[in-house]
């Protein structure tokens, strides 16, 4: 096997990231034929394809997924070698792919990435938002470099670091019968209609844990965004457990009421997820440092 070049690795990583030769060639400032040739030569040297071809899209196959983490590491180490070898003091650059679960991505994005963006403006940051299960899978599949989620994640390949505390609150529309009670009890929730997040979200898991401590109610709606649930509650369709940070504005303007439930433990810890085999280069180290500095 001839030596695999840094350019071939660049092309492989970018195609795996973007899903197409055209997009990868644009990001690398190459012609599309040159990018296609680099990938073809890499696959020829390896002796098997790295992608499945599906209607013009390239999707990593098992061999590609196995080699992608190492390829990313080699690309990052090559760039780091260049910075150190020249001895030049240059601004940190590159790309960081961050995955955030819905509460973090929609309501805490400034706290999560703001200090890093301010400190390292030359780094391109890509943020994707999904539920906790999907972000954890993105970390496992190396689709994101780092994740930040609301729920617990237990997987041997993932390192979960506590980031900050968060809590849910039980909300109702102002004027709901439960808002008139001076002191709520568990029994007051019997038969209530609940609006819940979709399965796979951390908010849903914690809500179910809380509901298990209450008399049986009924599920009137399942929605995949906290904002949609908030609007459903405001419309009087039911009550819900929602992140405190997600409802603060609606509570302040009188569109939502928080029901006091000291008998329910609705606290949770937001966590940062890292793949244990992921190479942590200068960009990822810098991002982790900004999170640590804010704690």
Tokens of 25: 């060639």
Asked whether the predicted pLDDT for residue 201 surpasses 90, the reply is no
Give the per-residue pLDDT at 266.
94
Mean pLDDT, the chain, integer: 90
pLDDT (0 to 100) of residue 2: 66
Taking only the tens place, the pLDDT of each residue in 108-165 is 999 999 999 999 998 989 999 999 999 999 999 888 999 999 888 989 999 999 999 9
| Residue 159, both tokens | 């390192």
pLDDT tens digit sequence for 213-242? 999 999 999 998 999 999 999 999 999 999
pTM summary value? 0.80
CA torsion 172-134-283-42 (nearest 10°) is -160
Q: What is the pLDDT of residue 1?
A: 54
Residue 28, both tokens: 């690398």
For the domain bounded by 6-86, which CATH number is listed? 1.10.10.10
d(CA 24, CA 18): 6
β-bridge mates for residue 123, sequence order = 94
Kindly report, residue by residue over 68-103, the tens digit of the pLDDT: 888 988 888 888 777 777 765 567 788 899 999 999
Whether the Cβ atoms of residue 97 and residue 145 lie closer than 8 Å to each other: yes
Q: What is the pLDDT of residue 88?
A: 58
pLDDT for the residue 286: 93
Q: Is the pLDDT of residue 246 over 70?
A: yes
- Cβ burial, residue 107 (10 Å; 0-12/13-18/19+): buried
Task: Yes or no: say if 197 and 222 are a contact pair by the CB < 8 Å rule.
Answer: yes
Assign 280 a pLDDT band (cuts: 50, 70, 90).
Answer: confident
Q: What pLDDT is attached to residue 87?
A: 66
d(CA 212, CA 255): 27
Phi, psi of 282 (to 5 degrees): -65, -40
The residue ranges of DSSP E strands in 19-101, in sequence order, are 51-54, 57-60, 94-101
Residues 6+ apart with CB under 8 A from 145: 96, 97, 98, 278, 284
What residues are paired with 258 via a beta bridge? 171
Do 94-164+270-294 and 165-267 fold alike per CATH?
Answer: yes
What's the CATH fold of domain 165-267? D-Maltodextrin-Binding Protein; domain 2 (3.40.190)
Strands (E), the chain: 51-54, 57-60, 94-101, 123-130, 146-149, 158-172, 193-197, 218-223, 240-243, 257-259, 267-275
Residue 74 is encoded by which pair of tokens?
Answer: 């080699």
pLDDT tens figures, 22-37: 989 998 999 999 999 9
- Across residues 269-289, what is the average pLDDT? 91
> What's the gap between Cα 250 and its chain centre?
25
The domain locations on the chain are: 6-86, 94-164+270-294, 165-267
Which of 285, 291, 274, 260 lies closest to 170 in space, CA to CA? 260
**Is the CB of residue 142 less than 8 Å from the CB of residue 112?**
no
CATH of domain 94-164+270-294: 3.40.190.10
């Amino acid at each position: 096997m001839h030596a695999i070049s840094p350019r071939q690795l660049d092309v492989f990583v970018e195609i795996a990231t973007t899903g197409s030769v055209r997009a990868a060639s644009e990001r690398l400032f190459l012609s599309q034929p040159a990018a296609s040739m680099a990938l073809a030569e890499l696959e020829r040297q390896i002796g098997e394809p790295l992608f499945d071809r599906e209607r013009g899209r390239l999707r990593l196959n098992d061999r590609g997924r196995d080699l992608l983490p190492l390829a990313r590491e080699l690309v990052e180490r090559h760039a780091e070698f260049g910075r150190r070898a020249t001895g030049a003091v240059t601004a940190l650059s590159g790309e960081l792919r961050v995955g955030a679960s819905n509460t973090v991505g929609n309501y805490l994005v400034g706290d999560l990435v703001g200090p890093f963006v301010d400190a390292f403006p030359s780094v391109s940051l890509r943020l994707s938002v999904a539920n906790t299960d999907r972000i954890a899978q993105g970390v496992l599949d190396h689709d994101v470099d780092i994740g930040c989620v609301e729920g617990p994640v237990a997987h041997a390949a993932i390192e979960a670091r506590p980031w900050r505390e968060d809590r849910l609150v039980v909300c109702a529309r102002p004027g709901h019968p439960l808002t008139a009670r001076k002191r709520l009890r568990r029994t007051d929730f019997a038969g209530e209609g609940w609006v819940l997040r979709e399965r796979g979200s951390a908010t849903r898991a914690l809500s179910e844990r809380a509901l298990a401590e209450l008399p049986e109610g009924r599920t009137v709606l399942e929605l995949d965004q906290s904002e949609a649930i908030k609007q459903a509650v405001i419309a009087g369709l039911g009550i819900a457990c929602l992140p405190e940070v997600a409802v603060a504005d609606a509570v302040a303007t009188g569109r939502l009421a928080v029901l006091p439930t000291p008998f329910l433990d609705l606290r949770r810890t937001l966590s940062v997820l890292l793949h244990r085999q992921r190479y942590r280069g200068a960009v990822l180290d810098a991002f982790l440092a900004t999170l640590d500095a804010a704690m």
